[in-house]
């Protein structure tokens, strides 16, 4: 008879090409051997080791699905497998990775002028330049279309725009070299994308203070972007895209990645819980894994992870065929983030009092997964995107 593997219950591995399996193995080994030993201290100290991005660059994992510009040009499924490997360790590390790969590099690749791509992307692929993506503002999160950041011709520098405004909750911003920022062009009132290069900003025009004391995603750096007449070369504005379509196109790739990533976090929560439940004995020396209520928690979580992986895999294949509608991505982003959070929270109970110790890792996943459910479109916002597609009626306002 065919045997059942609780680590891959529906044999999703059999759907992968040899190249995808090899990329997944490279990413999993790196993440388990090099990232995992760092995460507990990083989480405790709210610290992100920038060397991680350079190490991932050396392995060819950054911007992995981009073709050209010294990027690997792998399939969307392979890129998803890397994301899953990183988030198996920690959602914060996956955030730093996703923002670099999908939002900053992805945005520049999709919309930047050729000169900008050639200048920045190879350096970003090596991890020598770190990117961030500024869409959210203090007064406009779910509704970025109302943003207040503004770009206008620079009053004293010919060939430059001047950007003013503030962005908040921006992953990587405190140490980013390249800041992809969305602002309204004053002349037209339309949203445009700009690649700000920190090295070109005169003192006092750009500040990126860190947001400290987070109660989740502590292994990722988050900050603001405060712009006071930041000069940006006209060539650094994305030439042919205006409106929300620009940032949302970048978000399609990042949201797709989160659908894979959160399944990695859930799989790690399952593995940790299974090991703990087999080891911990209560009532007549029985391992708690023997009890039906504990087994149901593991069965529910394992089923949701297996379904979530197949859904992400399927949308990845459609994406490469140009057949993935944004609503499909909303569906898997919402479902996988929600199910990862709900299941991790239930699995946490299996650890009893030890769940409260950060040594067991489960509480870290629960706190992180709340954030994944919130950023890149909070789950209820994705429900409304789906509701609009189902009914033809928009319920946002």
Quick one: which of 371, 372, 373, 385 contacts ligand FAD (CB under 6 A)? 371
Instruction: Output the six-digit token pair for 234.
Output: 């006209």
- Using rule CB under 6 A, residue 134 touches ligand FAD: yes
Q: Is 159 exposed, middle or buried (0-12, 13-18, 19+ CB in 10 A)?
A: exposed
Q: Choose the binding region for ligand FAD from 8-16, 128-136, 198-206, 348-356 (rule: CB under 6 A).
A: 128-136
Strands (E), the chain: 67-68, 71-72, 131-134, 150-153, 160-171, 178-185, 191-197, 206-207, 222-233
- Using rule CB under 6 A, residue 104 touches ligand TGC: no
Question: Read out DSSP for 39-71?
Answer: HHHHHHHT---THHHHHHHHTT-TTTT-EETTE
Contact 53, 96 (CB under 8 A): yes
Closer residue to ligand FAD in complex, CB, 6/396: 396
- Using rule CB under 6 A, residue 210 touches ligand TGC: no
Closer residue to ligand TGC in complex, CB, 27/251: 251
Distance CA 80, CA 254 (A): 10
Quick one: which of 163, 176, 191, 251 contacts ligand TGC (CB under 6 A)? 251
Quick one: which of 10, 36, 113, 381 contacts ligand TGC (CB under 6 A)? 381
Closer residue to ligand TGC in complex, CB, 89/251: 251
Quick one: which of 35, 170, 183, 221 contacts ligand FAD (CB under 6 A)? 170
Which listed option, ligand TGC, ligand FAD, none, makes contact with residue 134 (CB within 5 to 8 Å by class)?
ligand FAD
Site string for ligand TGC, 63-102 (x = CB under 6 A): --------------------------------x--xx---
Q: In the complex, which residue's CB is closest to ligand FAD? A: 141
Residue 29 C-alpha from the chain's centroid = 20
Question: How many helices (H) and strands (E) in the chain?
Answer: 12, 9
Residues annotated as catalytic are 376
Measuring CA to CA, how many Å separate 272 from each of 82, 248, 321, 365?
Answer: 20, 35, 36, 11
- Using rule CB under 6 A, residue 138 touches ligand TGC: no
Torsion angle of alpha carbons 224, 221, 71, 178, nearest 10°? 30
Q: Choose the binding region for ligand TGC from 61-69, 143-151, 196-204, 357-365 (rule: CB under 6 A).
A: 143-151
Closer residue to ligand TGC in complex, CB, 78/385: 385
Distance CA 331, CA 335 (A): 6
Total residue count of the chain as it appears in this document: 397
Count of chain residues binding ligand FAD (CB under 6 A) = 22
Closer residue to ligand FAD in complex, CB, 194/375: 375
Distance CA 365, CA 269 (A): 7
Which listed option, ligand TGC, ligand FAD, none, makes contact with residue 102 (CB within 5 to 8 Å by class)?
none
Quick one: which of 217, 224, 324, 362 contacts ligand FAD (CB under 6 A)? 217
Distance CA 55, CA 175 (A): 17
Distance CA 240, CA 104 (A): 17
Instruction: Output the six-digit token pair for 83.
Output: 């994301």
- Using rule CB under 6 A, residue 166 touches ligand FAD: no
**Other beta carbons within 10 Å of 50:** 14
- Using rule CB under 6 A, residue 180 touches ligand TGC: no
Distance CA 75, CA 319 (A): 9
Which listed option, ligand TGC, ligand FAD, none, makes contact with residue 374 (CB within 5 to 8 Å by class)?
ligand FAD
State the greatest distance between any 2 C-alpha atoms of the chain, in Å, as a whole number: 81
- List interacting residues with ligand TGC (CB under 6 A): 95, 98-99, 133, 135-136, 142-145, 171, 243-245, 248-249, 251-252, 254, 326, 375-377, 381, 385, 396
The residues that touch ligand FAD, with contacts defined as CB under 6 A, are 99, 133-136, 141-142, 169-171, 217, 222, 371, 374-376, 378, 380-381, 384, 396-397
């Amino acid at each position: 008879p065919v045997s059942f593997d609780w680590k891959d219950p529906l044999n999703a591995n059999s759907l992968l090409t040899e190249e995808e399996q090899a990329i997944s193995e490279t990413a999993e080994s790196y993440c388990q051997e090099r990232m995992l030993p760092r995460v507990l201290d990083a989480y405790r100290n709210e610290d992100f080791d920038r060397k991680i991005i350079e190490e991932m660059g050396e392995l060819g994992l950054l911007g992995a699905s981009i073709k050209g510009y010294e990027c690997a040009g792998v399939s969307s499924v392979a890129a998803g497998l890397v994301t899953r490997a990183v988030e198996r360790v920690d959602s914060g590390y996956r955030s730093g990775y996703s923002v670099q790969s999908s939002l900053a590099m992805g945005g520049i690749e999709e919309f930047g002028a050729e000169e900008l791509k050639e200048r920045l992307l190879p350096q970003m692929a090596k991890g020598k330049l770190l990117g961030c993506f500024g869409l959210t503002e203090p007064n406009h999160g779910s509704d970025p279309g109302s943003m207040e950041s503004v770009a206008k011709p620079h009053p004293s520098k010919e060939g430059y725009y001047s950007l003013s405004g503030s962005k908040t909750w921006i992953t990587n911003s405190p140490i980013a070299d390249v800041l992809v920022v969305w602002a309204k062009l004053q002349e037209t009132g339309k949203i445009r994308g700009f690649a700000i290069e920190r090295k070109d900003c005169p003192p006092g025009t750009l500040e990126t203070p860190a947001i400290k004391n987070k109660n989740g995603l502590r292994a990722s750096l988050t900050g603001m972007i405060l712009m006071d007449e930041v000069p940006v070369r006209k060539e650094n504005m994305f030439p042919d895209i205006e409106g929300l379509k620009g940032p949302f196109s970048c978000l399609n790739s990042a949201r797709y990645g989160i659908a894979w990533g959160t399944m990695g976090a859930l799989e790690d929560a399952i593995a940790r819980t299974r090991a703990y439940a087999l080891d911990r004995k209560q009532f007549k020396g029985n391992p708690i894994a023997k009890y039906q209520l504990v087994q149901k928690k593991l069965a529910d979580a394992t089923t949701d992870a297996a379904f979530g992986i197949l859904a992400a895999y399927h949308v990845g294949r459609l994406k490469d065929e140009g057949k993935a509608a944004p609503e499909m991505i909303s569906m898997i982003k919402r479902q996988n983030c929600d199910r990862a959070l709900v299941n991790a929270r239930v699995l946490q109970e299996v650890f009893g009092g030890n769940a409260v110790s950060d040594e067991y890792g489960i509480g870290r996943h629960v706190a992180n997964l709340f954030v994944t459910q919130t950023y890149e479109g909070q789950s209820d916002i994705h429900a409304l995107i789906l509701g609009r597609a189902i009914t033809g009626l928009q319920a946002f306002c």
